[in-house]
Structures are given as structure tokens and as C-alpha cells.
């Protein structure tokens, strides 16, 4: 009985992964546009750093080359993190766009299976897209990553997966709570994370209340530790405290987000909010 139940959920998980893949294949032109947008954004940040020298400006204590590396690594990481965050956060929005929300939410499948299927595809797609942008950016700006410790960076990426999924699932609740404004609220959450997490600057430059809030964001530890690994060659032992913090956050965020999602789903069904879009 348990084996049959596991097989059923595993098939459903694979089905959700394949469905997301088919959606991207159907809307490949839009994905090409967003890929171009992400590439242009990263290039703009790189040329911003390059342009500091022409203005006679130089960050105190660091070279312009180091500043450019700092900004470009932040931009590349944000491209990946924000893309994965949004794809998970838009789980409900996708269902409404496709007109499948009632079928999906009434199907005899555990909600965790549905959400993890979307998360798995989002992670794989996010890595592929960030790698493609990196293949353009690294040779274009002649970035020197010879001292990078890739094992440490991979360790942080693995540890950051859980809290990132938790944040995405929490944000996916918003369209369930508010069919009219939930999608726009997801953009607001992204903006707050961008401000607090130190994507383009150390969070120490923020006012104290924002600095303290930034310490609660898992993206802060992800960005800081990956920069240490790629810029300064930090060893796996050196990034272990950040990895432990990220894992602890994930162990809280993932179960908490799934529980909250189930509660929001029950409320949406009770009030008839699943299909409504306006």
C-alpha cells in the first residue's frame, strides 16, 4: 500500500516537472525575451562598474576590478535567485493563466508533491539560464576566477536551496489570498529582498533597522558566502557557518510555508477564490 502510494506521488511529481517544461516550450519566445532582459541587466551592472574609472571614482579600500567582480557576481546570483523565486511564487498564477487551477487543486495528489515538482524544474531551469548568462559575461569582462573555490560555492548553493524554496512557496500564497493583487504583491516581496539582501552592496551600509532585517534574509548569507568562495577562495570549512544558517532557515521555512499554503488553499476553496481572477 505504501509502495503504491509512493509510486503514485512519484509519477505525479514527474508529471508536474514535465508540465512546467512543456509550458516553457510553448512560450519559448517569452522566455527568450526574459533571458535577453536578464543578460542586459547583468551587462548594465558590469559596465556601471567599468564606468567608475572614467568618472575618476574608485571605491575606498578595493580596486575597480574587485568592485566589478563584486557587482557582477551579485548580479549573476540575483538573476538565478530571483528567477527561481518567481517561478515558484507564480505557481498559482500559472494555473490561473492556463485555466487548470481547479483541476490541479482538486486532483488526488499531495500539495507538497505539486509544489516540489514546480520547485525542481525551477531550480534546474534557473541554473541553466544563469550558466548561459555566465558564459557570456565571464569572457566579455575577462573575469579572473582563478582563485575561486567552486566546491564551497556549490555547498552554499545546495544549502540555499531549501530556504529559497520556502520563500517562493510563502509568496505563492499571495495569489490565493488575493486573486486581484497577489501577483503584484509578489513583485513587492522581490523588491524588499533586493533591498535587504546585499545584492549590489554590503548590508552594513544600510540603516540599522534595514541591516537587522537583512540578517533575516537567507539570500544575504547566500550572496555573502558565494562571494567569499569565488572572490577570496574561502574553503568549505570557512563557509560552513553560513551553510548551517541556511539549512536551519530551510528547515523552518519549507514546512512552515507548506503548512501556510495548505491553510490558504482551504480558505480559497471555502470562499470560491480559486478560479476568480478579477
Q: Which residues contact 88 (CB under 8 A, 6 or more apart)?
A: 115, 118, 119, 122, 165, 168, 169, 171, 172
Residue 181, helix vs strand vs coil: coil
Residue 200, helix vs strand vs coil: coil
Whether the predicted pLDDT of 245 surpasses 90: yes
Q: Mean pLDDT across the stretch 17-38?
A: 85
The residue extents of the domains of the chain are 2-271
Alpha-carbon span 88 to 174, nearest angstrom: 12
Query: Of 110, 78, 31, nearest to 193 (Cα)?
Result: 78
User: Could you tell me the pLDDT band of residue 59, with boundaries at 50, 70 and 90?
Assistant: low
Whether the predicted pLDDT of 132 surpasses 70: yes
Q: Which residues contact 255 (CB under 8 A, 6 or more apart)?
A: none
Q: What is the pLDDT of residues 206-219, one digit of tens each?
A: 999 999 999 999 99
In this structure, how many other beta carbons lie within 10 angstroms of the beta carbon of residue 127? 14
The mean pLDDT of the chain is 83
Q: Which of 56-65, 69-78, 178-187 has the lowest mean pLDDT?
A: 56-65
User: Could you tell me the pLDDT band of residue 232, with boundaries at 50, 70 and 90?
Assistant: confident
Amino acid at each position: 500500500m505504501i509502495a503504491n502510494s509512493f509510486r503514485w506521488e512519484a509519477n505525479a511529481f514527474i508529471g508536474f516537472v514535465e508540465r512546467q517544461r512543456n509550458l516553457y516550450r510553448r512560450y519559448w519566445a517569452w522566455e527568450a525575451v526574459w533571458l535577453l532582459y536578464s543578460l542586459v541587466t547583468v551587462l548594465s551592472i558590469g559596465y556601471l562598474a567599468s564606468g567608475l574609472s572614467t568618472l575618476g571614482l574608485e571605491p575606498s579600500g578595493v580596486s575597480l576590478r574587485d568592485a566589478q567582480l563584486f557587482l557582477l557576481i551579485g548580479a549573476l546570483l540575483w538573476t538565478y535567485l530571483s528567477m527561481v523565486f518567481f517561478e515558484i511564487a507564480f505557481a498559482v498564477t500559472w494555473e490561473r493563466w492556463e485555466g487548470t487551477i481547479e483541476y490541479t487543486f482538486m486532483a488526488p495528489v499531495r500539495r507538497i508533491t505539486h509544489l516540489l515538482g514546480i520547485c525542481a524544474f525551477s531550480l534546474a531551469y534557473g541554473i541553466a539560464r544563469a550558466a548561459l548568462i555566465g558564459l557570456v559575461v565571464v569572457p566579455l569582462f575577462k573575469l579572473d576566477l582563478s582563485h575561486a573555490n567552486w566546491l564551497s560555492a556549490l555547498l552554499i548553493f545546495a544549502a540555499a536551496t531549501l530556504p529559497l524554496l520556502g520563500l517562493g512557496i510563502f509568496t505563492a500564497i499571495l495569489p490565493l489570498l488575493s486573486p486581484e493583487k497577489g501577483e503584484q504583491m509578489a513583485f513587492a516581496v522581490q523588491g524588499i529582498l533586493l533591498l535587504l539582501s546585499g545584492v549590489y552592496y554590503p548590508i552594513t551600509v544600510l540603516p540599522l533597522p534595514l541591516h537587522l532585517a537583512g540578517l533575516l534574509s537567507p539570500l544575504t548569507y547566500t550572496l555573502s558566502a558565494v562571494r567569499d568562495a569565488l572572490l577570496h577562495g574561502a574553503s568549505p570549512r570557512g563557509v560552513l557557518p553560513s551553510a548551517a544558517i541556511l539549512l536551519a532557515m530551510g528547515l523552518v521555512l519549507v514546512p512552515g510555508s507548506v503548512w501556510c499554503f495548505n491553510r490558504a488553499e482551504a480558505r480559497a476553496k471555502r470562499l470560491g477564490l480559486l478560479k476568480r481572477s478579477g
